[in-house]
Every structure is written in structure tokens, then in C-alpha cells.
Amino acid sequence: MTTDWLTSRYTRGNLMATIDLAELEREEIEDAFDLLGVPRFHARQVFRWIYARGVTDFNLMTDLSQALRRTLSATFTVGSLAVETHQTSSDGTTKYLIKLADGREIESVFIPDTPAQTFCISTQVGCAMNCAFCLTGKMGLVRNLTAGEIAGQVRVLVKHTPLAGRAFNIVLMGMGEPLHNYAATMKALRILADADGLALPAKRVTLSTVGVLPGLEKLAQEPLMPNLAISLHATTTEQRDRLVPVNRKYTLEELIDACKRFPVAKRRRITFEYVLLDRVNDTPEDARRLVRLLNGIKAKVNLLPLNEAPGIEFTRPSDERVNAFAKILADRGLVVSVRRSRGRDIRAACGQLIVEGARSSRGQDLARAIQPR
Ligand code: SAH
């Protein structure tokens, strides 16, 4: 691992004081300690405190000497995220409003019993993709999250939820497009996977993307490979151009080709998410086209009946239409599930995460208008 970036900061004097250990993988913390003349093995201890025990104050790391605690406090920080508020839905889903160091806000969601416990994590403040039915998209992209901020959400949620040692999954389905913030997202997954920390295996992670193709090609080469979910939502170019504007750049055809090439592990499938919009993309012809499109891919389909919101021009289809659509897929041999929406009463469901900023955007005004039932 290169330590050039560390050395350059170090030789420029006190700048080391600005290094936030929450932004570093364990090996990078080891390198930083090396430069300070601190034995490398202490990095593992510190990493365990931060991730396995949720302690970020060096003074509370009781297996380190007082002298080392002082050195570390003088040299490093451990960025932590502040939970501003949380709201629990009637179905147990809990939405956390999290404040970042620069005052920006994001939302993360805990979904109990799915059947595992699931954390829905954000990768950006806002989102640039602007899908026609998604409230987060109305915010536009405010900024990327750092690796520490992405992994930090998991740290915070673990601390706040009654997991009691139970395994949990994470889905990168909160605010933002993970492949539009590739490096930070993958770094966060490496931090979370570390056996000395939360030890979250990649198979417990699902990365959901609209199909940013350069990112998808890179992901196909990753040693740490999460499950892949593709937000498809349409079966023709014309329809997808309208619903998922990034399709004008990375076409439906190229996306399907990339999925065909994607290395899917044994007994795994690519999930295709398909938001159902009443009389827009939910007809029997759409269902049949979807079957043809996914032919030759180890696929499963997750249908998401639209979560409606003011300012979103579409409506949710009736249960009958949803079931009829699902039946066409199932009858032709596709594995299909319908996503039961969780946390809709607290605006924590898919496509409903949005945060008010200092200046309000159109989307933020819309969000304010949504009253919890
Ligand atoms: N940007 C990534 C991650 C967001 S995941 C992606 O698009 O895949 C959130 C999922 O919820 C996506 O499949 C998204 O299309 C879907 N979604 C967005 N708005 C929705 C809404 N109003 N109702 C139901 N699902 C929605």
C-alpha cells in the first residue's frame, strides 16, 4: 500500500492532526502508525474499538497505554456521525436523520426482520440521476459521501438498534447512486468487511444501481463483490429514457449486455428492480418484454409498486395489476417478488428519502408537504 499521501502530510508538519481514522482502512491506519513510530499492532486494537465496540474516543480505549492514548488524541480524530432524530414506523422500520460534519444531512433506514435485519445506507447527499418517480432525485446531487461517512452510517445504526449480536445485511439503496461515487463506496465496503471490525461479508451487501456502465465494468473486477441489483424500470429505450434519464447515456441494450457479462457467483442472481407505475410500464406487454429482455441472465425480479408522493406524476397500480404482472413473469419461469413497502408512514420507503437543506429545492418543498399519517 502506498503511503505517499501520508508521508506528504506528515512532512508538512502538524497536518497529521487532521487525519480522520474513520476514513482509513485498517492497513492504512497501520501505515499511519508506522510513520508515527507507533507499533503497527496497535492499529488493529484501535480499529476494533471503533468498529467492533463503537468507541471513538481514544481516552476510552482502555487497553492502550495512557501515553499512547495521548499521542493518538493529539494526532488523529475519529469522525462520527450525529443522529439528529429518528422515527419509527408502525411496521418497526426506523428512519435516522444523520448530520454530517459539514452540517449536511442524510437519511439511513433500519428495516427489521426481512428476515434478516437490514440497514439501508446512503452513498451521496441527494442524487444526480433524477429518475422520474424518485423524490431523492428532485434534490439533485449535493455532494458525494466519503468512505468514512458511508461506513459510519453502519456504525451508528449498529449502535442504535437492538441487534444483540445478530447478523445484518446492508443495501446501498438509500440516497444516492453508489456507482456514481465508486471509490468511496468500495472503500467503505472494505472497511466494513474487515474481520477486526464489523466483519460484514460482501455477500451480505447489495449494491443497487441505475446502471452507470463504467462503474459496473469496474465492479465486475472487484475482489470484494457485493450482490448486484439493477434498477431497470422499463423494457424499451423510449420508456427508459423517460423514466431513468441516465439511459440516454448508458443505453438499455448496453446495460443488458453488461449484465450478461457480469460474473454472478454460484447460486446467486442479479436482482432487477422494477418500479410499477400505473398504466405506464405495468401492462401485460411490458411483462412479456421484460421476460424476453432477461432471457439468458441469472435474474430475479423485484417489483416495487410505486410509493406515491406529491410532485411525482405517477400513480401506484392496483394490487390486481401488480399481481397480474407478477404472474406473467412467474408463469414464464422468472423468480419474482413484490417488495412490501416498509416505513411509508414515516417517508422511509424506497425513493422517499430526502432532506431539507439550508436552501430548499423544489424537491425539498415537496417533501415538506408530505404529512405522516
Ligand atoms: N440509485 C440507486 C439506489 C437507490 S435504490 C438505484 O437507483 O438503484 C432505491 C430503489 O428504489 C431504486 O430501485 C429506485 O428506483 C426505487 N425507487 C425510487 N423511487 C421510488 C418510488 N417512489 N417508489 C418505489 N420505488 C422507488
Mean pLDDT of 145-163: 93
Give the residue ranges of DSSP H helices in the chain. 4-11, 26-36, 41-47, 66-75, 135-139, 147-160, 182-193, 213-219, 237-243, 252-261, 284-293, 319-331, 362-368
Q: Is the pTM of this model over 0.85?
A: yes
Higher pLDDT, 369 or 68: 68
Give the atom of ligand 1 at the shortest distance from the alpha carbon of 351.
19
| Angle made by CA atoms 112, 185, 166, in degrees to the nearest 5 | 25
- Check residue 52 and report its DSSP letter: I
Residue-level pLDDT at 362? 47
Give the atom of ligand 1 at the shortest distance from the alpha carbon of 307.
23
Q: How many CB atoms lie within 10 A of CB 283?
A: 15
Query: In the structure grid, which three cell numbers stand for residue 311, read together?
Result: 410532485
| Per-residue pLDDT at 206 exceeds 50 | yes
First to last CA, the chain: 52
Q: Which residues contact 310 (CB under 8 A, 6 or more apart)?
A: 366, 369, 370
CA distance 111 to 91: 9
pLDDT classification of 267: cutoffs 50, 70, 90: confident
From atom 17 of ligand 1, which residue's Cα is the shortest distance away? Answer: 351
Give which of 302, 300, 290 is closest to 328, Cα–Cα. 290
In terms of phi and psi (left: phi > 0; alpha: psi -120 to 50; beta: otherwise), the region of 183 is: alpha
Residue-level pLDDT at 349? 72
Residue-wise pLDDT for 123-141, tens only, equals 999 999 999 999 999 999 9
Residue-wise pLDDT for 213-264, tens only, equals 999 999 999 999 999 999 999 999 999 999 999 999 999 999 999 999 999 9
Higher pLDDT, 115 or 93: 93
Residue 107 falls in the annotated catalytic set: yes
Residue 217 falls in the annotated catalytic set: no
Give the atom of ligand 1 at the shortest distance from the alpha carbon of 172.
3
Residue-level pLDDT at 183? 98
The reply to whether ligand 1 has any atom less than 6 angstroms from the CB of 131 is: yes
From atom 10 of ligand 1, which residue's Cα is the shortest distance away? Answer: 350
The reply to whether ligand 1 has any atom less than 6 angstroms from the CB of 209 is: yes
Mean pLDDT of 334-351: 81
Residue-level pLDDT at 18? 73
From atom 18 of ligand 1, which residue's Cα is the shortest distance away? Answer: 351
Give the atom of ligand 1 at the shortest distance from the alpha carbon of 127.
1
- Residue pair 349/312 in contact by the 8 Å Cβ criterion: no
Please tell me which residue in 25, 107, 149, 273 is annotated as part of the active site: 107
Q: Which residues contact 74 (CB under 8 A, 6 or more apart)?
A: 17
The best mutation among 274, 350, 354 to test binding of ligand 1, ranked by most ligand atoms within 8 Å of the C-beta, falls on: 350
| Per-residue pLDDT at 369 exceeds 60 | no
**Identity of the highest mean pLDDT range in 4-18, 48-62, 341-355:** 48-62
Mean pLDDT, the chain, integer: 90
pLDDT classification of 298: cutoffs 50, 70, 90: very high
pLDDT classification of 10: cutoffs 50, 70, 90: low
Q: Give the length of the chain.
A: 373
Phi/psi at 121 (5° precision): -115, 145
Residue-level pLDDT at 343? 78
Residue with cell 444516492: 176
Please tell me which residue in 131, 134, 259, 350 is annotated as part of the active site: 350
| Per-residue pLDDT at 75 exceeds 50 | yes
Distance from the CA of 134 to the center of ligand 1, in angstroms?
Answer: 6
**Percentage of the chain lying above the pLDDT 90 cut:** 79
